[in-house]
Amino acid sequence: IAAKAPLVSTSIAAGVDSFQQGLIEVSALHQAGYQQVLLVDFDGIVPDYYLPWLPEQRVNFPYAVALLLRPGDQLYCTGRAG
């Protein structure tokens, strides 16, 4: 906003399916002509107060992953400790 750069941004809240839905969104943006899309998936620890309302099999630890994705016919992944 400060740089007045028009950037596309989407937020997805699909529970345990958020990462997969993010990949679908990336595919749609590639189809719309975007050459690079940054997909960021993250979550934090759910406070104990909310645990009684969550399924018994749940992920409850902090995590984050960021992927810079481009359209193509090959899969190429690199990892970097940070």
Residues 58/47, Cβ–Cβ less than 8 Å: no
Question: Which helix or strand (DSSP H or E) is residue 18 part of?
Answer: helix 18-31
Tell me the backbone φ, ψ of residue 33, rounded to 5 degrees: 110, -5
The pTM assigned to this predicted structure is 0.73
Annotated domain spans of the chain: 1-82
Q: pLDDT per position in the chain (82 positions), as tens?
A: 788 888 888 999 998 889 999 999 999 999 999 999 999 999 888 888 988 888 776 778 899 999 999 998 777 666 677 6
Position 76 scores a pLDDT of 65
Residues near 70 by beta carbon (within 8 Å), at least 6 away in sequence: 30, 35, 36, 37
